[in-house]
Structure 1
Amino acid sequence: MKRSAVFACIAAFAFSLAGVAHAARPLKSVGVAVSDLANPYFVAIGKGALDAAKKVGGDKVKVTTVSSKYDLNTQVGQIENFIANKVDILIVNASDPKGIAPVLQKARAAGIVVVAVDVGADNADATVMSDNTMAGTESCKRIVERLHGKGNVVIVNGPPVTAVIARVAGCKQAFAGTGIRIVSDNQDAKGSLDGGMEVMTNLLIAHRRIDAVFAINDPSAIGAELAVKQAGRPDVQMVASVDGAPDAEAALRAKNSIFAVTTAQDPYKMATLAVDIGYGIMNGKRPANPVVLIPTPAITKQNVLAYKGWASH
């Protein structure tokens, strides 16, 4: 064989190897671990992950969504199952951002890309979440406006995850330097309607005057409003929240509701971005910034009719 022909063969072989090296790894399976599938927010995350995965991997891609009910041990077991089933990407809404770290490290060691959504998680490759500080600030700004900078406010708190902590911090930023007095901020309503109702009922008994309520998510805010109505407390002028959930849309449209503002998250977009980022990492493309924050605009009685909510996808 002539030397030129040998070089041509070597070049062709090298080129074919380069093509193999750069061929995108196919997406075959995605595991989605969320906190509570009774909450439409997490249902939207599951749907976003499914739609994005099928866009990338086709109709044969397998997407499994599980719910931990905010229990760390349950979530660890679910992630162990995903590891055993060798999913390509794990989308995780951590029930405990630090407690989840060892099993996430195990997942990554097994070659699984881990993307945290909604809240941060130690040992995730990347995180996609709402700008939760903005969410708390924008909601509580409306409280300051309604109360003209003076009054008693309760914060109906939630599980101690990064998103909730940031929302409360953002709310307190809005109150800083005003005459707003926070009379309670440490009651965990567990992010649920029943929890919001129970916590608010107790707060109404404990405090003779409450001018407004900030709840860390819409379910607990809806529960808080129900408690106010049942107690017949006209002193409570408004409830403010975070999520932009369908129930919050309905409450904002209702004429007799004191539900006045929610700052809108986009769980569907959050999940689609998480899958896209995870697929990029699978193929050697890490994002310049491992934390992506999605803006959270305020939805009020004045602009709710123009709001395209979670169900619009």
Structure 2
Amino acid sequence: MSPAIEPPARRGFLLGGVAVGAGLLAAACTSNSSDDDPKPAAAAAAPGGDNDKPGTKVVIGFSAPAADHGWIAAIAKNAAATAKQYSDVDFKSVEPTNDINQQISAVESLIQQKVGALVLLPNDGGQLNQVARKAMDAGIPVINLDRIFPDKLSYRTWIGGDNYGMGVAAGTYIGKKLKAANTANPVIVEIQGIATLPLTQDRSKGFADALKTFGFSVTAKQDAAFTVESGTKVASNLLQAHKKIDAIWNHDDDQGIGVLAAIKEAGRKEFFMVGGAGSANAIRDIQKGDTVLEATVTYSPTMASSAIKLARLVAQGKGMSDLVEQQVPQSITLASETITKENAEKYLPLGFES
């Protein structure tokens, strides 16, 4: 659940094949991550198919925002870990930055080095569209990660999560549970990331659409800016405004740390909560069952591992071994899955540390 700028169409290829790694697409978005976090290494699946046998040596450039967010930190670690698995890959990562101009300059340096492929998670898809197009025009295939460029000529392949699908998954879980409990006119609260972002709007639309199938709707929603501090403040305000709540969907597990802190401080236990992204701390809370958090829906940073694999295949002129087509698809959308106490153990190795 990255604070992305331009979401893609929701349809795409769901991968489970050898070329991308079956474990990569099953799970996990956001906050600060410690350097000793072992999870991203576990998220990178081991090579296993004919496409993974050493081939032509390729140089893969990589650029992403600064790792000041757990999800972004996991993106960078997963990309580096996967690149190390291949003896035919020379991985060149430029300095991460949240400054648009600095990222443009970094990408230009990779273009000047004539890398074989470029994996790029832009700070802003619109503002980096031109430099991505420059790479493509120079014959360097761009694997656009998560935040999509508005011009399709600016990338060879896009891979990212399903924001609308996150909302659908959360709404379906909440709707089913409330319906099974015969809850009439439930008070359903939604805590967004940043309300103005298209990704947030897609998540909210998916949530509303799913709830509507059960005859429910969102009672109140407020954005919390993807931070722990804002999560605490927003949750406190919503708890004060609603003396009775039946369910909460919090878009982001990192800000969810603050949300849960506010809930604990208020001593409220009459509702259940669903998170978003699939962070390791959220999954552990779900396993323990000692908070109101019952589930989280995934938006996995393992997409970075898949992006490296795709960049390697594209640079070597290969397709995906589980597909009939000779070339890597142009668009790949990961599934958003629901993590509960019953399957938490399976997803925990793919969780990222907040």
Shorter-chain TM-score range: 0.7 to 0.9
Match for 2:232: what amino acid? Answer: M
| Residue 311 (structure 2) aligns with | 278
Match for 2:298: what amino acid? Answer: A
SS at structure 2 position matched to 1:180:
coil
Gapped runs of 5+ residues in structure 1?
1-23
| Residue deviations 1:85-141 (CA, integer Å, cap 9, x gap) | 544333233332323312222332344322122332333221112333333212221
Structure-2 change in CA distance of 1:258 and 1:158 (3 Å)? same
CA–CA distance in structure 1, aligned partners of residues 84 and 230 of structure 2: 36
CA–CA distance in structure 1, aligned partners of residues 91 and 346 of structure 2: 35
| Residue 294 (structure 2) aligns with | 260
Tell whether 2:172 aligns with 1:141: yes
| Residue 50 (structure 1) aligns with | 80
- TM-superposed deviation, 1:248: 0.8
- TM-superposed deviation, 1:231: 2.7
CA contact (8 A) 2:313 2:328 kept: no
Tell whether 2:67 aligns with 1:33: no
SS at structure 2 position matched to 1:199:
helix
Structure-2 change in CA distance of 1:273 and 1:177 (3 Å)? closer
CA–CA distance in structure 1, aligned partners of residues 78 and 163 of structure 2: 20
Paired residues for 1:1-313 under 5 Å: 26-34=57-65, 36-58=66-88, 61-64=90-93, 66-69=95-98, 72-73=100-101, 75-122=103-150, 123-148=154-179, 150-159=185-194, 160-161=196-197, 163-185=199-221, 187-235=222-270, 237-268=271-302, 270-285=303-318, 287=327, 289-310=329-350
Match for 1:281: what amino acid? Answer: V
TM-score normalised over the length of structure 2: 0.69
SS at structure 1 position matched to 2:329:
coil
CA contact (8 A) 1:133 1:169 kept: yes
- TM-superposed deviation, 1:50: 1.8
Larger CA Rg, structure 1 vs 2:
1
Structure-2 change in CA distance of 1:80 and 1:197 (3 Å)? farther
Structure-2 change in CA distance of 1:151 and 1:290 (3 Å)? same
SS at structure 1 position matched to 2:155:
coil
Match for 2:347: what amino acid? Answer: Y
Root-mean-square deviation (Å): 3.0
Structure-2 change in CA distance of 1:219 and 1:254 (3 Å)? same
CA–CA distance in structure 2, aligned partners of residues 266 and 181 of structure 1: 27
Match for 2:204: what amino acid? Answer: V
- TM-superposed deviation, 1:165: 3.7
- TM-superposed deviation, 1:292: 1.0
- TM-superposed deviation, 1:240: 1.0
| Residue 16 (structure 1) aligns with | none
CA–CA distance in structure 2, aligned partners of residues 188 and 91 of structure 1: 30
CA–CA distance in structure 1, aligned partners of residues 69 and 112 of structure 2: 27
| Residue deviations 1:245-289 (CA, integer Å, cap 9, x gap) | 111112112332111111234422x22321222233334457453
CA contact (8 A) 1:215 1:239 kept: yes
| Residue deviations 1:132-182 (CA, integer Å, cap 9, x gap) | 333321222121133236412222222455544433222222111434331
CA–CA distance in structure 2, aligned partners of residues 146 and 172 of structure 1: 16
Segment of structure 1 superposing worse, 209-218 or 38-47 = 38-47
How many residues align? The count is 283
Larger relative strand fraction? 1
CA contact (8 A) 1:89 1:275 kept: no
CA contact (8 A) 1:95 1:161 kept: no
Match for 1:243: what amino acid? Answer: A
CA contact (8 A) 2:273 2:295 kept: yes
- Asked which structure has the greater RCO (Cα within 8 Å, sep 6+), the reply is 2
CA–CA distance in structure 2, aligned partners of residues 44 and 285 of structure 1: 27
CA–CA distance in structure 2, aligned partners of residues 54 and 190 of structure 1: 34
Match for 1:273: what amino acid? Answer: S
CA–CA distance in structure 1, aligned partners of residues 297 and 73 of structure 2: 19
CA–CA distance in structure 2, aligned partners of residues 172 and 223 of structure 1: 24
SS at structure 2 position matched to 1:171:
helix
SS at structure 1 position matched to 2:226:
coil
CA contact (8 A) 1:117 1:129 kept: yes
CA–CA distance in structure 1, aligned partners of residues 347 and 330 of structure 2: 29
